[in-house]
Amino acid sequence: MIKIYYVPAYRGGTREFKLIEQGLVNNPRVELVNNIEESDFVFQFYYIARHREHYPQDLPPEKTVVIDYHDRQYFKCPVECFAYFKRSWVVRVESSDKQYATKKIVPRPPHYHPLAMAIMDEFIISEDVNRDVVLSCTLRKTQPWHFNRKRVLELLEKMNIQGKTQIGELSKGNLRRWNGSDMRDYFRLLKRSRIVVTCNPTRWEGDNRTWEAFANGALIFVDKIYTPMVHPLVDGKHCIFYEMSPSGLLELEERIEYYLEHSELAYDIAREGHEFTMKYHRASNRIDEILDVIT
């Protein structure tokens, strides 16, 4: 067993802090301990900008692991460590007309490693639900800096999709209140959907939306993911990738129409993607990825 001290979070922590906590609790290789001295490793989660005010600065660097889920790609936790795991691994590259953005990987120090979001237990609706929604996309238009998402929504709104759909924000929900009716309705919508179209944030990559959708078994359409993964998603096998360029969005429209017409193929990919992500992309799997690097 690997003994880990997980530094307590300021004000109980964010959803991302709880993701790592859940992974530690559920991972059979880990024994959580209550102090630094007893631990083999110290896990320090970093998300807020005012880090120095709320977290210890005297952690032993030789056994400290920083887990940085901050949105900004160039933010760096001030705590010294021997291994640094970062979610925002890529930077955006705007098109010449600044109408959309793609992503690219930037150089990182040798002790930096990518770490994606993951499926949390709370995302999963275990009850049997009739998939009566042919397509859902709950992205918001009200955030102008997420112009990639706006382009996707506008495309879907112009399509003549037959059957029940949900295109546009369902509810803002409450990210801390897992059992609130708004969040449960949102997760249930994903479970009811045959196809879910989502899109990474324009400024960075990695969000909960993608994993919330995979957790509930729909066929997922998502813009191409550039962040390296230990078990990468494969286009046409686990999900459908698309590009943000005009030609990429045209292909997105064509592929949506194709899988709406070929429901058996859509079901096969959805099932494969759900089984794959439930096996390799749970919170506990992210801890395995960290442990495999540091041990």
Q: Could you read off the pLDDT of 167-188 as tens digits, one per residue?
A: 988 765 554 555 566 788 899 9
For residue 62, what is the DSSP state? G
Per residue in 263-287, pLDDT (tens digit) is 999 999 999 999 999 999 999 999 9
pTM: 0.94
* pLDDT of amino acid 177: 57
- Name the one residue in this structure whose structure tokens are 């969005």: 249
Q: What pLDDT score does 142 carry?
A: 67
Domain ranges in the chain?
Answer: 2-119+283-294, 121-280
Euclidean distance between CA atoms 60 and 152, whole angstroms: 46
pLDDT value at residue 178? 57
The predicted structure's pLDDT at residue 41 = 98
For residue range 97-113, what is the model confidence (pLDDT) as tens digits? 888 889 999 899 999 99
Scanning the structure block, which residue is given the tokens 């990695």?
206
Q: How far apart are CA 1 and CA 33, in angstroms?
A: 11
Residue 188 sits at φ, ψ, to 5 deg, of -65, -35
Phi, psi (5° rounding) for residue 104?
-145, 155
Scan for tokens 């102090």, then name that residue.
35
Topology classification of domain 121-280: Rossmann fold (3.40.50)
